[in-house]
Amino acid sequence: MFKRRTVGDVTFETVSVIFMIFFCITTLYPFLYLVGLSLSSADASTIGYSILPQGFSLENYAKVLENSDIGVGFKNAIIKTIIGSAVNVVGAIIAAYPLSKKYFPHRSMWTGLIVFTMFFSGGLVPSYLLVKRLGLLESMWALILPGAISTYNMIIMRNFFMSLPESLEEAAKIDGANDFVVLIKVVIPTSMAIIATITLWSLVGHWNSWFDALIYITNPDKQLLQIVMRRIVLEGTVQMLNPNAADYTSKPVNSENIKAATIMITTLPIIAVYPFLQKYFVKGVMIGSLKG
Amino acid sequence: MKAGVKEKPKTTLYKRLSLDKYVKHKYLTLMFIPVIIYYAVFAYAPMYGIIIAFKDYSFAKGIWGSDWVGMDNFVRIFEGRSFFQVFWNTIIISFYKLITGFPAPIFFAILLNELRCTWFKKSVQTISYLPYFLSWVVLGGIFIQILSPSSGPISYIFKMLGKQPIYFLGDVKWFRSVLVVTSLWKGVGWGSIIYLAAIAGIDTQLYEAATMDGAGKLKQIIYVTLPSLVPVITIMFIFAMGGIINDDFDQIFNLYNEAVYSVGDVISTYNYRIGLISNEYGYSTAVGLFKTVISFVLIILTNYIAKRYNEYGIW
């Protein structure tokens, strides 16, 4: 195809490239600044806009990792994320599979009752009282069970199951397999793409969740990394609230570096798996928007 | 069902409830029982708890035993000045976020689509999705550092220019702008995915025809891309309007402080404080119910409008 590139086109492209570069800088700058801050040594002045560390050192990370709350929080967060995601995936499958079958009795009633919960809920206080009443306060299960089945994920999974050819199931059933065997041996292996997507959604969701831990967990030995980090960083803001301008310079400078290192430690697990995440997440959005 | 009317004598309760079908598909039924229990306990039981909104909740008496107070908690919502302020903050912040955060991903997607260099395009996309994957706890921490009046880079630049640093997160004049800008920063890339998919679906013949007619890039965008996106934009806009009462608890809770309650306190943060900090269970549940009902009505309404517009409702 012949393409005549006019002056207007070239200008347009140049402007969009410049805009995109500016956009990327704006997106990345806060992270890079924090990385620089977290790698700066305690005695160097860190006030400035540079993303380069002032006097490179890893002592901030060493100090943060020495803090037992961070270590415990990291461990708790990993355990909760793995168990919680496993529960989410199994939950989505066992809810979606029966509802994907046309012959499942009262299918539309069950679907309706479930979808209704997406739009109407008891709210904060009743949910809190329920968890308390079930004796789940201070337990990891308070962070896993109330969200065990995500209705949104369930619907996406159900739509995927419904798109599978019925012949798959029929062939297995002629061979004498029951529904359970069909699900494990035939349906799940053919649905790995959607299962992988939902697994990743759950992993990220659990790693990033913090509000339930804030209200259900007070014991420091059970606390999650996100909350520990929040305390370390926000305790600083309480001091900064003082409007007295003279206070601005009296704060010990290295506390900023420590906070930055804490934030980076909470962020790193996500960044480490990010390229992988991004691919599956985008796929998932497509599936969701096409059929949702 | 139709057969049931004719063979009335044969119909037992067992059959009428299709219990035989549950037995026939016993493996599916077994699989589904935990699901029913889950939704009964964690979704429907808290709905029963909504009656607290009509009671003066006391720990000793429990949910059912507490004294009924009728509509007192709701009267307090409408009489109290504090709730009015919170409601207004919620709407105005959502509105600002809508008028900036709604068009931005559309323009971003269109510009991104015009990039000819594939690796550059892919890199921009990868970078733009990054903030979406981080929680507001982390982002709150990052923005508190960036916007810090004592050590943050922005105030440093202000000082270099000989200006007084601004405490963005503690200043009522700036707090809403911070919310809008950080929300934009987090959501633009991710929000563009759906539009990129829609753009990818536009028939390339349309562009070829436009090129034949001598349309440059800009004209192609105005006369081909944008009109093709109108259905998607309309649907997204209808649903965005439906969510106008939904505030971003995570964002505001991690950025706000007492100094900016007057402009930044929204329904969810207010509800959290009165409910779980001040333990005013009845009032808090009433506020929660008030919001849930409005939100529910908006969703039904917007879904209805979307369905009338075309077949893409949410259900």
- Helix H or strand E segment including A144: helix A141-144
Q: Which residues contact A240 (CB under 8 A, 6 or more apart)?
A: A251, B148, B149, B150, B167, B170
Domains along the sequence of chain B with CATH: 72-136+170-309 (1.10.3720.10)
Query: Whole-angstrom Cα distance, residue A14 to residue B105?
Result: 20
Tell me the per-residue pLDDT of A45-94, one tens digit each, with 9 for 90 and over. Answer: 667 778 888 778 888 888 888 888 888 999 999 999 999 999 999 999 99
Please report, for chain A, the start and end positions of each structural domain, with discontinuous segments joined by +.
61-291
Q: How far apart are CA A20 and CA A14, in angstroms?
A: 10
d(CA A26, CA B146): 12
State the best of B145, B157, B273 to mutate against chain A, taking most chain A CBs within 10 Å.
B145
Distance (Å, whole) CA A262 – CA A70: 8
How many Cα neighbours within 13 Å face the side chain of B188?
Answer: 24
Q: How far is B25 from chain A (nearest CA, A)?
A: 7
Show pLDDT as tens, one digit a residue, over chain B (315 residues): 444 444 555 567 777 777 888 988 999 999 999 999 999 999 999 999 999 999 988 888 888 888 899 889 999 998 878 899 999 999 999 999 999 999 999 999 999 998 888 899 999 999 999 999 999 999 999 999 899 888 888 888 888 888 888 899 999 999 999 999 999 999 999 999 989 989 988 998 999 999 888 888 888 999 999 999 988 898 888 888 888 888 899 999 999 999 999 999 999 999 999 999 999 999 999 999 999 999 999 988 888 888 887 655 554
CB–CB of B25 and A126 under 8 A? Answer: no
Q: Looking at the DSSP assignment, which residues form a beta bridge with residue A13?
A: none
Q: What's the one-letter identity of residue A123?
A: G
Flag if A98 and B28 touch (Cβ within 8 Å).
yes
The total of other beta-carbon atoms located within 10 Å of residue B94's CB is 20
Chain centroid to Cα A70, Å, comes to 19
| Interchain proximity A124–B272, CB inside 8 Å | yes
Q: Residues of A with CB below 8 A from B37's CB?
A: none
Q: Do A121 and B39 touch (CB under 8 A)?
A: no
> What token pair was written down for B50?
């909504």
Q: Does domain A61-291 have CATH number 1.10.3720.10?
A: yes
CB within 8 A of A62, min separation 6: which ones?
Answer: none
Q: Pick from B46, B137, B156: which is nearest to A130 by CB? A: B46
In the three-class reduction of DSSP (H, G, I as helix; E, B as strand; rest coil), residue A9 is classed as: helix
Cβ contact (<8 Å) for B156 and A49?
yes
- CA pair distance B281, B80, nearest whole angstrom: 16
CA distance B17 to B14: 6
Q: Which stretches in chain A have pLDDT values below 50?
A: 1-2, 237-253, 290-292
Task: Assign A1 to helix, strand or coil.
Answer: coil
Q: How many CB pairs below 8 A link A and B?
A: 274
Spatial contact of A164 and A96, defined as CB atoms under 8 Å apart: no
Residue B74, Cβ neighbours under 10 Å: how many? Answer: 17
- Chain A residue closest to B286 (CA)? A123
Task: Closest CB to A130: pick one of B49, B120, B165.
Answer: B49
Q: Do A124 and B34 touch (CB under 8 A)?
A: no
The reply to whether residue B141 touches residue A233, judged by beta carbons under 8 angstroms, is yes
Q: What does the alpha-carbon distance between residue B232 and residue B193 come to, in Å, rounded to a whole number?
A: 12
Q: How far is B304 from chain A (nearest CA, A)?
A: 15
A38 alpha carbon, distance to own chain's centre: 23
Cross-chain Cβ contact B150/A249 below 8 Å: yes
Distance of CA A117 to the CA centre of its chain: 22
The whole-angstrom distance between A279's CA and the closest CA on chain B is 9
ipTM value, please give it: 0.87
Nearest residue on chain A to B135, alpha-carbon basis:
A208
Chain A CB contacts of B115 under 8 Å are: 13, 16-17, 20
Contact B42 A94 (CB under 8 A): no
B293 and B280 Cβ atoms separated by less than 8 Å: no
Q: How far apart are CA A264 and CA A32, in angstroms?
A: 10
| CB nearest B50 (choices: A123, A253, A275) | A123
Residue A138, helix vs strand vs coil: coil
A212 residue type, one letter? D
- Which among A9, A13, A123 is the nearest to B46, CB-wise? A123
Name the residue facing A260 among B36, B145, B250 (closest C-beta): B145
C-alpha A6, offset from chain centre: 45
CA distances from A253 to A41, A233, B153, B165 (A): 10, 14, 14, 18
End-to-end CA distance of chain B: 25
Å between A154 CA and nearest CA of chain B:
11
Task: Give the integer Cα–Cα distance in Å for A241 and A260.
Answer: 19
Of all residues in chain B, the one with the smallest CA distance to A276 is B126
Chain B residue closest in CA terms to A108: B315
Min Cα distance A172 → chain B (Å) is 15
A285: amino acid identity, one letter:
V
* pLDDT (0 to 100) of residue B10: 56
Q: B47 vs A121: CB contact, 8 Å cut-off? A: yes
* Residues in chain A closer than 8 A to B141 (CB atoms): 229-230, 233-234, 259, 262-263, 266
Q: How far does A17 lie from chain B, in Å, by closest CA?
A: 7
What are the structure tokens assigned to A291, written together? 């059929």
Q: What is the 3-state secondary structure (H, E, C) of B126-144?
A: HHHHHHHHCCHHHHHHHHH
For residues B114 and A13, the answer to whether their CB atoms sit within 8 Å is yes
Q: Which of A97, A248, A292 sits opposite B150 (nearest CB)?
A: A248
Q: What is the pLDDT of residue B313?
A: 52
Query: How close, in Å, is residue B81 to chain A by CA atoms?
Result: 22
User: Residue B51 carries which DSSP code?
Assistant: G
Closest-CA distance, B9 to chain A, in angstroms, reads 22
DSSP string spanning A249-267? GTS-THHHHHHHHHHHHHH
Report how far residue A175's alpha carbon sits from residue A7's, in angstroms, rounded to the nearest whole number.
Answer: 68
Mutate to test the interface with B, among A9, A125, A208 (most CBs of B within 10 A): A125
Q: Which of B2, B303, B13, B167 is nearest to A237 (CA)?
A: B167
Q: How far does B185 lie from chain A, in Å, by closest CA?
A: 7
Q: Which of B111, B131, B285 faces A19 most closely, judged by CB atoms? A: B111
